[in-house]
Amino acid sequence: MDKQQAESACNDRYSPAATKVEPALCCPVDYDAKWLKAIPQEVIDCDYGCGDPSKYVRGGETVLDLGSGAGKICFIASQVVGESGKVIGVDMNKSMLEVANRFAPVVAEKIGFSNVEFHKGNIVNMQGIVDDDTIDVVVSNCVLNLVSNHEKSDLFKELYRVTAPGGRAVISDIVADVDVPKEMQEDEHLWSGCISGAMKDDGFVQAFADAGFEEITVVKHEAEPWQTVNGIAFRSMTVVACKVDADGNTDSGPMPDQDEERCCSGSDCC
């Protein structure tokens, strides 16, 4: 599937999902309830993720969320980083961005400060939105698989470009236990459903290394498949990958108890 087909399939599916819940889209997980109190239910209902990268964020940091959707991870991260931190969300879907921007002032009023901004853009090329070496933590939740395979190498390079020296990427995504065959990759419904664009698990980890990241750690790899399609098991995986600073140092950030995070199986949502 080429770039235009992948983007069209995703826009066609995620635009209506901004206002009407589609449970089949990825696999929501349990989040810390204390962060959800300030987030409107309309945003929570439109969350289509497979992990919780916000658990690896700390106070005062600058966070970038790739494919930020309706803004749930951004609104959680905004509370974690606090007033001295900053959160940037980038998404190409107009309908999702409308939801995020509509409720951003609501969240800001509840938490007492505003530190989130949303931008329409392609996460493969964020030039003009995000400068080089400026982001402490790049997060993403079940989005990278939606990018065409032709662009995935450039996508990981873009992650590396924006990450500050000493910073890190924390990516939750769906991976497969084998390479997804081409005939499945051409299925637009499977692609937009976070299935046929999934990378093989070891290839996903290697992509971070190929882009320049070091100290790459798989902090979560579900034992049970989220879905099995045509005999291929698809699971949630969360990876932390670090960018070395001038002194050769890295910072993997906080490492929470992973037992708290579990992707739902089948069609159930947490």
Check which CATH number belongs to the domain holding 93 and give it: 3.40.50.150
Average pLDDT over residues 31-51: 92
Asked if residues 165 and 214 have their Cβ atoms less than 8 Å apart, the reply is no
Question: Which single residue is written with the structure tokens 């099995």?
Answer: 228
Helices 94-111 and 72-81 sit at what angle, rounded to 10 degrees?
A: 30
Q: Domain for residue 250, yes or no?
A: no
Q: Domain for residue 74, yes or no?
A: yes
Q: Domain for residue 248, yes or no?
A: no
Residue 113 confidence (pLDDT)? 98
Q: Domain for residue 169, yes or no?
A: yes
Q: Domain for residue 185, yes or no?
A: yes
Average pLDDT over residues 171-177: 97
Residue 68 confidence (pLDDT)? 97
State how far the Cα of 51 lies from the Cα of 30, in Å rounded to an integer: 8
Asked if residues 64 and 90 have their Cβ atoms less than 8 Å apart, the reply is yes
Average pLDDT over residues 91-103: 96
**Taking every pair of C-alpha atoms in the chain, what is the biggest distance, in angstroms?**
50
- Domain of 89, in residue numbers: 3-243
DSSP strands (E only) in the chain: 62-66, 86-91, 116-120, 135-141, 163-176, 199-200, 214-221, 227-229, 232-242
Q: What angle do CA 47, 51, 57 make, to 5 degrees?
A: 100
The residue with greater pLDDT, 202 or 24, is: 202
Asked if residues 114 and 91 have their Cβ atoms less than 8 Å apart, the reply is no
Overall domain count for the chain:
1
Does the predicted TM-score (pTM) go above 0.85? Answer: yes
Question: Which single residue is written with the structure tokens 């390479």?
Answer: 179
Q: Domain for residue 32, yes or no?
A: yes
The residue with greater pLDDT, 79 or 255, is: 79
Cβ count near 30 (within 10 Å) = 12
State how far the Cα of 77 lies from the Cα of 93, in Å rounded to an integer: 21
Q: Domain for residue 194, yes or no?
A: yes
Residue-wise pLDDT tens digits, 201-259: 999 999 999 999 999 999 999 999 999 999 999 999 999 999 999 999 988 888 776 54
Instruction: Specify the DSSP element, H or E, that contains 81.
Output: helix 72-81
Residue 123 confidence (pLDDT)? 98
Q: Domain for residue 260, yes or no?
A: no
